[in-house]
Structures are given as C-alpha cells and as structure tokens.
Amino acid sequence: MKDNSYQVIDLFAGAGGLSLGFESKGFEIALAIEKDTWAKETYNLNHQNKNCIEADIASLPDSFFLPYKGKVNVVMGGPPCQGFSIAASNRRKKDDSRNFLYKEFLRVVSLVDPEIVLIENVREFSRYHLPEGGLLIEDIKTTLHKLNYVCNCSVVDIKDYGIPQDRKRTFFLAIKHDIKPEINIIELLNPYKEKMISLGEAIGDLPIVAPRQFNEGDIMDYTTEPQNDFQKSLRDNCDKVYNHIPMQHTPRMIEKFKFIMKNSGKEAIPEELKPRVRGDVNTISNSVYCQNSRVMDASKISPTITASFYSSFIHPNQPRNLTVREAARIQTFPDWFVFTGKKTTLSKKLLAKKGIIEDLHLDQFNQVGNAVPPKMAGHLASICLNLLDRKV
C-alpha cells in the first residue's frame, strides 16, 4: 500500500463501480472482495490495483483482515439484502444466508476500524425488517455507535448529480465522532448537483448497430465525434467501442419492436408478432409479458438500469434492446471499461435446473445493473476526501 494516499477496502465489489469512483479521486483500493468469478475478472481487468480476490466474505477469518487495522481509511460496499422483507413477516426467511452478510460487513469494520464507513443499497434498505423483528438499519446504527461512529442515512436520486438515470438509492455514511460530530449526506452532496442529462445526450454518439450484424466480442470504431461534454468525458481518450453488440433478436422480435415503436402502444400486437411458447415457435404463448414493450424516450433521462434490464426496454430509435455499452454509459462507466463473462445467461433458477453450472455467474448485463455509477461514487469519494482532510 502507498503511504501518500488514503486506503479503501471495497466489499461485495462487483465490477467495481464504487472503486472506480474512489480511484478517480486519488484513493487507493487496498483490497476488494467479490464472490462472483466473472465480476471479479471484470474488476481486475479494469482497475489500477488488480487485487480483487474471489471469496465469500463469511469464509475469511478475522486474521485475514487484522493486518489492515490502522492502515485503511474507508470500508465500503453494498451488502446483499434480498433475504429481508420491507414489512411482511411471511416473506422473511430466518435461514436465508443473505440475512447475515451485513453482519459480515460490520465484522470487517470492527476489525479494520476505518475512519469512514460507506454503504450503498436499494431505496428500500432503510425499511428492511430483521427476521426477529426490528429494522436492519437500526441494528447497523447501533453497532456503529458502539464503535464511536456518527451515522446518517438518506435516499438519493442520482439523476440530480449528473447521472442520466432515474435511480433512487440509499446511501449510509458513518464517520468517527472525533472527525465530525454530525453529518448530513444530502447537505454534503449539494456541491455536486448538476443539470439532468437525457438518454440521447448520454448514448447518442454511439454507433448504430443491428442484431446479428456483429459477432460476439467484436470491437468497433466510433462513427461520430462526441456531441457534448458528457459523451466526451465518458470516451475519456478511448478510441474503440467495446461491449456494443446487440442481442441476437429473431426477425419476428425485430418486427415486433418496429410495430411498437411505430404505434406507441396504441394498437394491439398482431397475432404473427406475439411471443411463442418456449421451444415451440408455432404456438402463441398465453403468458403476459411486460418486457420488450417499453420504448425509451431519448429526450428524457433513462429509467433505472437494473440487473435484468436487457429485455425491459427498446432503444429510442433502433428496433432492438440496449447493448451493454449503452447501459454502461447510462451508469457512467467510461468507454474503456470492458465487461467480461457472457453478455447474458438464462435465469439462475433455470441454469440450476438445467445443471449448467459454468454459467452460474453475473453476466455483463448483471454486472452493469448491479454497479454503483462511478460518477456518483466519485462524488461520494470527494465527500470522504474532504472529511478525512478536515475540510468540511
């Protein structure tokens, strides 16, 4: 570890959106931990420190983290919370292994004793209930208060901070009491507010591509110059376009997209364009699908990019779903950042049922959708930098 920079541990790191934002502000990532193979490979391909280890945090003993005590300034991450419900007790499973991952995060904090703790999570994070009752967020606050931290938790819509996406997330910040006796995330974020950026402004300079036009893994050239400062900043001196291969849509699906784009949902989809039963192209499915029917508006900010967004939206003026690169732009990943692993896979449930174990990883779309937008992470890094430098 370097002596002249603040040190960070990134837990549940994924592809490294948080890490990228902190690196951009001069922090050094001393350690990153990610359980998924493909996400870990993406992290190590793109980051300054190739030190993301593939591990289940619960499997790492206390002795693994103790050498970082007194040397790491920030511990950050987004512990998975899918094992919790917002309110209904019948949806909580006491034996869900994910219920304990936030405790593993807190274990690392207690062992490393950083000046700052940062948690990013879904909007509902502050309303999750523990299996035994009580709020998850209150348990975290109580634990950190005992460790001499002051805490603040706020829901933030990142569209207000220069990210072209309507994405409401919970940010939890804790800092040692002797550094600052109280904090307010919203107030600390005020200097980083920017005008909203539309979808068209975010992705309008990327090459026009058609399904089945390219082979998987192909790299292409830009076909236009950047049209605004956002596009210029995301190109970041990159001279090639990566991860911009469309889904391999069938001719029927492409015609369906064209129909929807032309009719704006005003007419029912004709029989010949309706979805078919899986494995039987001659039988129309009776299932109701909400995917692949929402045309994005280039003049507005993007809807939330999620882990399964790839089949949720139609490009604003091309009859196809978004590419990984377009989603990465919306998430503010620079164009040189290359995502590895398969572009998409079957659902985890279906993969397990079919026994396709080798694909039970986070595909490129998952990696993009799960990430903290690096630009937002950069704002948070600036806040942490100012707190550590005693400038606020």
Q: How confident is the model at residue 129 (pLDDT cuts 50, 70, 90)?
A: confident
Q: Which residue range forms the structural domain that includes residue 280?
A: 199-370
Residue 332 and residue 231 share a domain: yes
Residue 377 and residue 352 share a domain: no
59 within some domain? yes
DSSP 87-125: S-GGG--TT-GGGGHHHHHHHHHHHH--SEEEEEEEGGG
CB neighbour list of residue 305: distance below 8 Å, 6 or more residues apart: 165, 167, 327, 330, 331, 368, 369
Residue 174 and residue 120 share a domain: yes
Q: Residue 15's pLDDT is what?
A: 97
Residue 232 and residue 185 share a domain: no
DSSP 367-378: HHHHSPPHHHHH
2 within some domain? no
CB 65 within 8 A of CB 58: no
Average of per-residue pLDDT values in the chain: 88
1 within some domain? no
Cα angle 61, 62, 65 (rounded to 5 degrees) comes to: 105
Residue 332 and residue 214 share a domain: yes
130 within some domain? yes
CB 87 within 8 A of CB 95: no
CB 183 within 8 A of CB 152: yes
Q: Which of 52, 81, 151, 384 is an active site residue?
A: 81
Catalytic residue check, 290: no
CB neighbour list of residue 374: distance below 8 Å, 6 or more residues apart: 17, 18, 20, 21, 24, 331, 332, 333, 334
* CATH code at position 299: 3.90.120
Please state the domain count of the chain.
2
354 within some domain? yes
* Per-residue tokens: 93: 């499973």
* CATH code at position 105: 3.40.50.150
pLDDT tens-digit series, residues 4-53: 699 999 999 999 999 999 999 999 999 999 999 999 999 999 998 999 99
Its pTM stands at: 0.90
108 within some domain? yes
Residue 102 and residue 40 share a domain: yes
Residue 170 and residue 108 share a domain: yes
pLDDT tens-digit series, residues 299-314: 999 999 988 787 789 9
Residue 158 and residue 209 share a domain: no
How far CA 145 is from CA of 8, 138, 148, 171, in Å, comes to 21, 10, 5, 17
Residue 176 and residue 215 share a domain: no
26 within some domain? yes
CB 362 within 8 A of CB 17: no
189 within some domain? yes
Residue 251 and residue 123 share a domain: no
pLDDT tens-digit series, residues 165-210: 999 999 999 999 999 999 999 999 999 999 999 999 999 999 999 9
Residue 306 and residue 325 share a domain: yes
Q: Residue 311's pLDDT is what?
A: 78
Lowest mean pLDDT among 132-141, 275-284, 304-313: 275-284
Residue 129 and residue 215 share a domain: no
pLDDT tens-digit series, residues 210-262: 999 999 899 999 999 999 999 999 999 999 999 999 998 889 889 989 988 88
